[in-house]
Amino acid sequence: MAHADMITHLSEELILRILSLLPAKDVVVTMVLSKRWKCIVVLVPRLEYDYAMYQYLGVGSRFLRFVYSSLLLHEAPVLESLCLKLYRKSGVLDIGVWV
């Protein structure tokens, strides 16, 4: 029995809506799903970054680099929300650059 590929037929608007509900690191992971998604990921209107998750995974030192690079790649015409959950004082200096 063949399974239907329903994701391929989703509208760009619906994909963006779904992706906007995910943390930024999970949004980036979806880029491997297809070439189409790779183009859509940079248009997500809501971004959430949480340092605690990176610290939990043992890659806390990469957090600021990830935030910086993903914001540089971001192309949404409007950024509806940007949530930064920081747990280190050094991150405060970067906020001025990001905003």
The DSSP result for 43-67, as a single string, is: T-SEEEEEHHHHHHTT-GGGHHHHH
Q: Is residue 42 part of a domain?
A: yes
Q: For the chain, how many structural domains are there in total?
A: 1
Terminal-residue alpha carbon distance, the chain: 51
pLDDT in tens, 3-62: 667 777 888 889 888 888 888 778 878 877 777 877 888 888 888 888 887 776 666 677
Q: Is residue 87 part of a domain?
A: yes
What pTM value is reported for the model? 0.66
Q: Is residue 2 part of a domain?
A: no
Range of the domain at 79: 8-98
Q: Is residue 49 part of a domain?
A: yes
46 SS3 class? strand
- Rounded CA-CA distance 26/12 in Å is 18
Radius of gyration of the chain (CA): 15
